[in-house]
Structure 1
Amino acid sequence: MPRTAALRAHLLAARLAGPVATSRERSLRSYRLFAARDPRVLLGIEPEHDWSFPELLRLMSDKCGVSANPALTSGQDVIDPDLTIAALDAFAERLAAAAAVGAPVLLGTGHPHRLLGFYASLAAALSAAGCPVLTPAQNRCIDITTQFGVRTYNIVYVRGVAMVREPGARNEARDPGCHSHSPLPIRVALGCAADRGGPLPRLVIGDHGWVCGAGQLGFEAIGLADADDPAPFVGQAEGRVSVAVPLDDAVRSAYYRPITRYVLNRACLSQ
């Protein structure tokens, strides 16, 4: 289809797929850490299977398109654009299914500087279709363990999308939120919603700890994942994440707009 061909060309030109900025060394390091069950890369997933490094490499080759050759240890990693498009189609199907029944949804991102526009567009389209866009635990204070020690953040919602922000940050244009891998924010948000008697989301849309943490708790979850993030793909393989879309999650925010249009068109949610 011409639209699919145009999207494929854009994925390659913007380096969302094909050779991406993620280094091979970084990807392999993440796979080894996941095999060792390092919580920094589990993103909230508690694997049922004892995933070895070779198994993870094969999985990421099958689902993401990285090289399955363990002897390839340097250079830039690769994401197969055809796998990205197939996953975007599945992603759009889940959006359409949620919109068809007016399902409550919750959106969250650990990449607000890059992906806020993508998720905010989905939130607006789903809201227009009759889906309640949930915002539980607004301004809730949480402590997250980071590489710099325990840091305090607030759960905030910008244009219907959850993220964490340092206390006192007010200029959304300069500081839309903080980069985070933690599943704690979605756990707190879902716990707050449950404590207040709901509603609870029928679908969680996000990345990093937002999608993995929700999936681990039994909520249907779909999201985006880079070549160095095996957790969402393991979650998908084990049945806790419905869709994991392989693409570079840290390119310029404007480069995600064609993806947004493609997904919303496929889901019949274009406004």
Structure 2
Amino acid sequence: MPQLVNHLREALLAGDVETTRDSNHGNAAAFAEGREGYLFGLTPLKAWTLTEVLAVMAERVGIDPDPERSTGVDAIDPHKTVAALTRMRDRLRQAAANRERVIVATGHPAGIIEVHLAIAAALRAAGCTLLRPAPGAMFASPGHYMGRELPLMVRYIAGVAVAAERGIALWHTHSPAGMRAMLAELDALGEAPPDLVVADHGFAGAAAAAGLDVVSFADSNDPALFIGEAEGRVRVTVPIDDNVQPHLYAPVSAFLLDGLIDQEV
């Protein structure tokens, strides 16, 4: 455990991360204002003030709760990261033991996807069914990329759903529309929804909004999933910088997958 805490600090996955106070404070304010792009498809059950949002983020992430401080540096408490990873690991072990049907998805195809790929491979090896609904389904992306709206599609990389610009490139996205399309296809085919969703951003938010069991990752400037957890709609949200160099997540994957297959059931 201390070794993982040290790695989180050294790799800037937690501790003094590169995500700024400006971003943390500004996104928390945008969430409190109800701006759609910051909700990840998971509209909160009540109105949240900026002070309340920051209080939740302080409790679950470790950032400064002061609503008056909007500049400077901020931090993710690595001990909170490890505690959340432990709870996620317990749920993954349960999924493996029961050979559950699982969707794995990420809006970060150049960062924390490394963990999603490892989870998908391990669950498959444990006998779980990795669902891949709606491959090629088109969906809208909120905001603009390089001055233009970017139509995206659902694409699977080793069983992990990502957002792609046709066959050209993989894109970072907060949109919940991809997961909505995936769940809609399962429903249209008369198939049961997944037992578990492992995801982030809008992929996680839309799944939680549909009432599914969700474990997720989120950065300190993305309050939606932490508020979802506080409201009892997301099982686990792990506070972590979600877009550093992919290889730096290897110890996180190793921790999550420890004992996943060779466990007593």
- Give the alignment's TM-score, normalised by structure 2: 0.95
Match of 1:83 in 2: 80
Please tell me whether the aligned partners of residues 104 and 199 of structure 1 are also in contact (alpha carbons under 8 angstroms): no
Q: Please state how far the C-alpha of 1:73 moved relative to its aligned partner.
A: 2.3
Match of 1:195 in 2: 188
CA distance in 2, matches of 1:145, 1:231: 16
Secondary structure in structure 2 of the residue aligned to 1:135: coil
Please tell me whether the aligned partners of residues 96 and 269 of structure 1 are also in contact (alpha carbons under 8 angstroms): no
Aligned residue type for 1:100:
A
Q: Please state how far the C-alpha of 1:266 moved relative to its aligned partner.
A: 5.2
Aligned residue type for 1:156:
R
Please tell me whether the aligned partners of residues 140 and 175 of structure 2 are also in contact (alpha carbons under 8 angstroms): no
Match of 1:229 in 2: 222
The number of residue pairs the alignment matches comes to 261
Secondary structure in structure 2 of the residue aligned to 1:222: strand
Aligned ranges 1:56-205 → 2 under 5 Å: 56-147=53-144, 148=147, 150-169=149-168, 175=169, 177-205=170-198
Aligned ranges 1:9-28 → 2 under 5 Å: 9-28=6-25
* Structure 1 unaligned spans of 5+: 170-174
Q: Please state how far the C-alpha of 1:100 moved relative to its aligned partner.
A: 1.1
Q: Please state how far the C-alpha of 1:149 moved relative to its aligned partner.
A: 5.2
Q: Please state how far the C-alpha of 1:105 moved relative to its aligned partner.
A: 0.2
Task: Give yes or no for the alignment of 1:258 onto 2:214.
Answer: no
Secondary structure in structure 2 of the residue aligned to 1:106: strand
Percent identity between matched residues is: 36
Change (3 A) 1:261 1:73: same
Change (3 A) 1:101 1:133: same
Q: Please state how far the C-alpha of 1:269 moved relative to its aligned partner.
A: 6.2
Change (3 A) 1:200 1:269: farther
- Please say which of residues 198-207 and 178-187 is displaced more in the overlay: 198-207
Match of 1:172 in 2: none
CA distance in 2, matches of 1:267, 1:90: 13
CA distance in 2, matches of 1:266, 1:80: 25
Change (3 A) 1:254 1:16: same
Task: Give yes or no for the alignment of 1:6 onto 2:3.
Answer: yes
* Structure 2 unaligned spans of 5+: none
- Give the alignment's TM-score, normalised by structure 1: 0.93
Secondary structure in structure 2 of the residue aligned to 1:144: coil
Cα RMSD over matched residues?
1.4
Aligned residue type for 1:80:
D
Aligned residue type for 1:65:
G
